[in-house]
Each structure stands twice: as C-alpha cells, then as structure tokens.
Amino acid sequence: MYDFSQSLKENDEMIFNEFTDKYTICINSYNDEIYTTIMSKYRKIVTTIVTPFNLQELMNMFEDLAQYKMSISIPYIIMINEIHGLKSVLISNLQGSSSLIVELLTLFEKINNKIAKIYLDNYIKNLLSINNIRINSLSDLVEKNIISHYESHLIWLTELAKLILLEQKTGFVELNHKICNFGVWLESDAKNIIKNNSKHKIIDTLHRNLHTFAQKIFNLIGKDEHHILIIYLEKCELISLSIGTELALIDNILMNKKVTKDTLTGSLNREALKNVFESQYELSLATNSSFVLAMCDLDFFKAVNDNHGHIAGDKLLKSFVDVVKKNIRNSDVIVRYGGEEFIVMLPAINKEKGKEILDQIRTDFQKNYIEFDEKKIQTTVSIGMMEIKPHNMYKKSFVDEYIMIVDQKLYMAKDCGRNRVEVC
C-alpha cells in the first residue's frame, strides 16, 4: 500500500489540471473520442494516487493506458514523457520528509519499467510478425543472388527478439560478427561479388554495429532495463534493414546484367518487366523500403517519325535511354514498355527524391538533341510517377494495377501541357 494523501498540497482536480496543462499537449492533436478516453484514464490514475492505494491496482491502470496507447500507435517515448511529467507534478506538490520523495521516485521507477516491458513485448510481437513476412518475401523471389544472405540475418534477428522476450541468455544468437554465417560470407565470397570497396565497407560497418548492439542486449537481459532494450532492439532492426537495402541494390545490379535487353535502346525489354517488378516489390517489402515507379512517354514522337523517318526516331529513343542512364544508379531499372514508352523503377527511394531524379531526366532530355541529315532533332518527355511502399505480400495483379496508376498520371501530364512530371 502507498499513501501520499496527507502530504500533497493540492487536491486531485488541481493536480490533474496542472498535469494536463503542462504535459499532455500532444494529445490535443487526436480526435475528440481518443482525447476523452485518454483524459479519463489519466484522471482515474491521478484520483487513485492522491488517496491510499494498492500498487497492483495502480499498475493495472497504467497497463490499461499503455495498451490503449499502443492500439492507436502512440510511441513509447511520448507515453514515458507523460509519465515523467506526472511524476514531476506530484513531486512539486509533495510536502514532508525526503523519504516520501524517495518512495514516490521508487514507485515511478516500477511504473516506468512496467510500461517499458509492455511496449517491449508488443514491439517484439510486431517484429516477429513482420519479420516472418519479410522472410517469406525473400523465399518467394524467382531469382536470388546475394539477398539470400540477408535472409539468414533476418532469421538471426527473429531469434534475437524471441530470446529477449523469454529473457533467456542460454543458446543466444551468435554475437561475434566474424563467426556468424553472414560475417563469414562477408569476409570471403562477398569480396569478389561486391567489387565496390566503399559498398563493402558500408555493409561491414553496419554488420559490426548490429552485433555490437546484440552484445549490449545480451548484457542487459535479466536486469529489468526494458526501456534500454527497446532502444537497442530498434537499432538492430534498423541496421538489419539497412544491410538488406544495400544488398538489394547490389542484387538489382546483378539482375540487370542478366536480364535480356532491348536490342535498339539497351534498356530491359518488356518481357522482363513482371519478374523485375515482382523482385523489386518483394525486396522492398523485406527491407521496409519504398520504391518509385514511373511511366515515361516521348512527346510528339509520331511527328519525329513522320517528318524525319524511323531511323531518326530510333536514334531519339536511344538518346532518351542514354539520358536516363546518366541520371540513375546501376541498381535502378529502365524497361522499354512499347514504342516510345518506358518504365523506370528506382529502388530504396522516396517520392520526393524520386521526383527530383525524374525531373532531372526531363530537363536533361529537353536540352538533348540528335543530329540526322544535318538537322538537329529534339523533343520532350512526359512522366507519371508514384511511390510504392509494400505492406502486403505480392500478388500477380499488382504490376498491372500500378502501371495503370502511373499511366493515368502520364496522361494527366500530357493533358497539362506535356514536358512535366505528374506525381500520384
């Protein structure tokens, strides 16, 4: 039992008002129903604390609040900052011996640890679920190059999360970055595959950091430091995804070398599109990264063919692909979709950066020209684009659905005057 009732300067209403005025500003951004629910839970907690109360009773209230906040995706850091605010208000209203303050601090340390454990368990539950999806995505890939080594580290991360949940040190995951399966590969065959030394160094540094945080987790298991475990496990997941993204980009480079090309322009041919798109979708789902899909169409191309002939038109198509390749990475993809239409895929990139790259392609092509029969021939390009961030397992209909969307944006670009990028 705890009893601070005789030592508090203010009543529950005044303490509640002081707390909400100072520390629950972010809650005001939620709708009325959520705001009312959260306020009622905090009011119940404050009313309990200013009277004699049982520890388990109060813990149940905080657990109920934490479960509700997680259900509406309120981050742990916001929850814990509000609890810290409530503690500060109570301490400022506490009169009497210092032992009472120590007792209150000890109480809130227990509360903080309880909340951290609830959030940690929930985070692990979600991580195990999404990692299962990521692993299945990689298993579904038609062709695997080096991305299979990322799959082994996703399994390693899953085992790490399970061990944290069980608070178990025995049978722990491999902590030595040189001995784990990925580390052995990175120091041997990977050096021949990843010929870009800077890329290899980036991946190696990420991998070392991943194992460093795993070691820190191992040291904390069983010490009731759940708030730190959340941070370290989040770091492990983010680093793991970064490794996956780097490997996926290298995988794309290897895939681009193997896929059959359009003999005229050097871009990938349309027959490769479905497999390339599926692979990109699965890799993006596995690495929790978005990619950009764009449809490009050369403006007034029929007029070029009619006025200058098909040979000139062919040279213009080739020049467009050359302009695109100068502005994209080796891991990016350009596919000749048909005639003067091209599909561009930019992996591991967001909408803003994707539009910037496509705008640069548009600008450069506008300045570009070919020489034919002692004439300078040039035109412009219209582009429709969208950002895709996979959330569901791949379906065969996806490629057609997404192409239809960017195609609609392409026609919007045409209707709005051509020579522009329209974003979904």
Give the model's pLDDT for residue 27: 62
pLDDT score recorded for residue 309: 94
Q: What is the pLDDT of residue 196?
A: 81
Total Cβ atoms within 10 A of residue 371: 10
Angle (CA) 208-199-358 rounded to 5° is: 130
Termini Cα distance of the chain: 59
Q: What's residue 26's pLDDT?
A: 60
Q: What is the pLDDT of residue 29?
A: 64
Per-residue pLDDT of the chain (424 residues; tens, 9 = 90+): 899 988 999 899 999 999 988 877 666 667 788 888 999 999 999 999 999 999 999 999 999 999 999 999 888 998 999 999 999 999 999 987 889 999 999 999 999 999 999 999 999 999 999 999 999 888 877 667 788 888 888 999 999 999 999 999 999 999 999 999 899 999 998 888 887 888 999 999 999 999 999 999 999 999 989 999 999 999 999 999 999 999 999 888 888 888 878 889 999 999 889 989 999 999 999 999 999 999 999 999 999 999 999 999 999 999 999 999 999 999 999 999 999 999 999 999 999 999 999 999 999 999 999 999 889 999 999 999 999 999 888 888 999 999 999 999 999 999 999 999 999 8
pLDDT computed for residue 104 by the predictor: 95
Beta-carbon count within 10 A of 212 CB: 16
Give DSSP secondary structure letters for 311-342.
HHHHHHHHHHHHHHHHHS-TT-EEEEEETTEE
Question: pLDDT at position 21, please?
Answer: 85
Specify which residues 381 forms β-bridges with. 298
Return the pLDDT at 367: 96
Q: What is the pLDDT of residue 22?
A: 82
CA angle 143–146–147, rounded 5-degree value = 70
